[in-house]
A and B are shown apart, each in its own frame.
Chain A
């Protein structure tokens, strides 16, 4: 494998945040995490600044969930540091919250157990996430979308400085996904909190993402997303139903090998992209893969 951008490897993969607001909320330095013998993450430097939306993308097993769990404090790093701003309030919406069927719990009680003692604020939170009438329902009876909204309501009640979402829309249909991300955007605009989220799909990245980080055990590269919802070939693939919340991270993959010499011809390069040799492929699903292809060949 040729490594035409070998020099880029030396470039520090550190933040070039678009939304600065003083000191970072969370910073990882040289973070590494092991799952047993396997290295899940290594040398991850990450900074999340107040108010910015950062999206992690990467294939399955690339460590997105592990990194998010490290940020929220659920995983102990094997190396490096995680620095959190003192008093940082984190709201977390996991990929799937499996409430054991043996536990009866209403939506309202679920919110109260998160520490929201005030009934009115719980009602307002349910109102905000669009499920005002469901306070008395059992969590187990909610649909996938309602459930994730209830979990989001619990996160919002913590008045978070940082909202962490781990593939929060898995299992939702396309309109459900779009509606959920629109809600996140609105909430971010209202609360001014930072958002750190993972997406399994390289191409489904919110247009409002300030930064996209491509992860594959380490930070491959990061940069701003390019909105492509206006492009006809993209719409042909994803349809109009997503109302512009879909975006594509313009991602010049120099490790797409035979094309390695082509990228960068008149195109802005993403920052800190390393020419790595572990050959991960991003076209893990047929349709998005095709979209990716479009992006690469369409220049």
Chain B
């Protein structure tokens, strides 16, 4: 496995791994209008970093616990709906600010703050790769295994209830998946840009997809492509890798936004014609 010795190759693998989980999960974030919820969860990761460093526990564990705690607390609100911009905005920024303040209290510990905020994908080790792929497979597997329930609860919680699916349970599944993804993606794109990896590829995929499944797979593909392109650009142009990946994804989104409607029109015309 000489290839794995190449930091660029490891970085690409890490990016593809995150994209494969973030694409499908990001579709749910888009469908359920959870973008701010994703932000709050991702920002909580920074608080988790500070707490883990202070307590001397592994950073991954701290991030996972903090993200899960914030996500669960938010989704357990009585009405249970995700979209409540103000509250989510307060929590998202509170978590970020608290995290930054908490990190500054850590004396004697060298903290690569930029790495946690914007990712440090070029420094991914083999161990990191195992964690990222393990987490990504877990998230993707969770979504695949519960796909019908998740989809029904997303289409209509009442319809799901009538069909014997508990929408609250499906929401918890998504919350756990989101916390897991945040924990593994923080190394790749950083706490500030995780939401971008969730929603940008999914939004780009929307115009080309006819079914939820194809949108999820396309989102994964677009995310993976953006990861590779971003890393390549970062290497050649000496730009920061995490933001470059997001820029590549946004470029894909812009192309899709321009081409998608035309494609849909052509398709509609064709299906009307037959």
Interface residue total, chain B, C-beta cutoff 8 A: 29
Q: Quick check: A74 and B215 within 8 Å, CB to CB?
A: no
From 7 to 54 in chain B, residues with beta carbon under 8 angstroms from any chain A beta carbon are 30-33
> Which of A74, A102, A114, A138 touches B161 (beta carbons < 8 Å)?
A74
Q: Quick check: B271 and A109 within 8 Å, CB to CB?
A: no
Is B233 on the interface with A (CB-CB < 8 A)? no
Q: Quick check: B156 and A105 within 8 Å, CB to CB?
A: no
Q: Quick check: A158 and B210 within 8 Å, CB to CB?
A: no
Q: Quick check: A104 and B206 within 8 Å, CB to CB?
A: yes
> Which of A97, A104, A136 touches B159 (beta carbons < 8 Å)?
A97
Is A198 on the interface with B (CB-CB < 8 A)? no
> Which of B148, B155, B162, B215 touches A90 (beta carbons < 8 Å)?
B162
Is B154 on the interface with A (CB-CB < 8 A)? yes
Cα separation A115 to B148 with both chains bound (whole Å): 8
Return A272 CB to nearest CB of chain B, in Å: 28
Is B173 on the interface with A (CB-CB < 8 A)? no
Is A141 on the interface with B (CB-CB < 8 A)? yes
Contacts of B164 in A (CB 8 A): 73
Contacts of A105 in B (CB 8 A): 155, 211-212
Cα separation A194 to B164 with both chains bound (whole Å): 18
Is A137 on the interface with B (CB-CB < 8 A)? yes
Is B151 on the interface with A (CB-CB < 8 A)? yes
Q: Quick check: A114 and B212 within 8 Å, CB to CB?
A: no
Contacts of A99 in B (CB 8 A): 155-156
Q: Quick check: B156 and A104 within 8 Å, CB to CB?
A: no
Is B75 on the interface with A (CB-CB < 8 A)? no
Contacts of B163 in A (CB 8 A): 90, 92, 114-115, 158
Which of A98, A105, A113, A136 has the most C-beta atoms of chain B within 10 angstroms of its own C-beta?
A113
Do A102 and B156 form a contact, CB below 8 Å, given A73-B162, A158-B163?
A: no
Contacts of B85 in A (CB 8 A): none
From 136 to 167 in chain A, residues with beta carbon under 8 angstroms from any chain B beta carbon are 136-138, 141, 151, 154, 158, 164
Contacts of A69 in B (CB 8 A): 158, 161
Query: What residue of chain B has the Cβ atom nearest to residue A162's Cβ?
Result: B162
From 76 to 93 in chain A, residues with beta carbon under 8 angstroms from any chain B beta carbon are 90-92
> Which of A91, A110, A114, A141 touches B268 (beta carbons < 8 Å)?
A141
Is B239 on the interface with A (CB-CB < 8 A)? no
Return A293 CB to nearest CB of chain B, in Å: 36
Contacts of B32 in A (CB 8 A): 100
Can you pick out 20 interface pairs between chain A and chain B where the beta carbons lie within 8 Å of each other? A69-B158, A90-B162, A92-B159, A98-B156, A99-B155, A100-B32, A102-B31, A103-B31, A103-B155, A103-B215, A104-B206, A104-B214, A104-B215, A114-B152, A115-B148, A115-B163, A136-B271, A141-B268, A154-B159, A164-B162
- Known pairs A94-B159, A158-B163, A164-B162; list 16 more (Cβ under 8 Å): A73-B161, A73-B164, A74-B161, A74-B162, A74-B167, A102-B31, A103-B154, A103-B212, A104-B214, A104-B215, A105-B155, A105-B211, A109-B211, A109-B213, A137-B271, A138-B210
Q: CB within 8 Å of B: which residues of A?
A: 69, 72-74, 90-92, 94, 97-100, 102-106, 109-110, 113-115, 136-138, 141, 151, 154, 158, 164
Q: CB within 8 Å of A: which residues of B?
A: 30-33, 148, 151-152, 154-159, 161-164, 167, 203, 206, 209-215, 268, 271
